[in-house]
Amino acid sequence: MLGAVAIGTLVSVGLGVYGRVHEPTFFAISVAGFSSGPAVKSWLGTLAFVLVLVQLMSARRMYRGGGRVAAGLHRWSGRAAVLLTVPVAVHCLYALGYQDTTVRVLVHSLAGCAVYGAFVAKMLVLARPGGPRWAVPVLGALLFVALTALWLTSSLWFFTTSGLTF
For residue range 107-161, what is the model confidence (pLDDT) as tens digits? Answer: 999 999 999 999 999 999 988 888 788 888 899 999 999 999 999 999 999 899 8
Is residue 166 in a domain? no
Is residue 164 in a domain? no
State CA 137 to chain mean position distance.
Answer: 16
Output the pLDDT for position 141: 93
Q: Is the dihedral of CA 12, 16, 18, 24 positive or negative?
A: positive
Q: Which DSSP state fits 81?
A: H
Is residue 165 in a domain? no
Those residues whose C-beta lies under 8 Å from the C-beta of residue 28, and which sit 6 or more positions away, are: 36, 37, 38, 91, 95
What's the domain range around 150?
Answer: 2-157
For residue range 46-99, what is the model confidence (pLDDT) as tens digits? Answer: 999 999 999 999 998 988 887 888 889 999 999 999 999 998 888 888 888 888
Q: Are 140 and 62 in contact (CB under 8 A)?
A: no
Output the pLDDT for position 87: 85
Is residue 162 in a domain? no
Output the pLDDT for position 133: 83
Is residue 163 in a domain? no
* Residue 33 reports pLDDT greater than 70: no
Is residue 107 in a domain? yes
Give the count of domains, the chain: 1
Distance separating alpha carbons of residues 144 and 48, to the nearest angstrom = 11
* Residue 28 reports pLDDT greater than 70: no
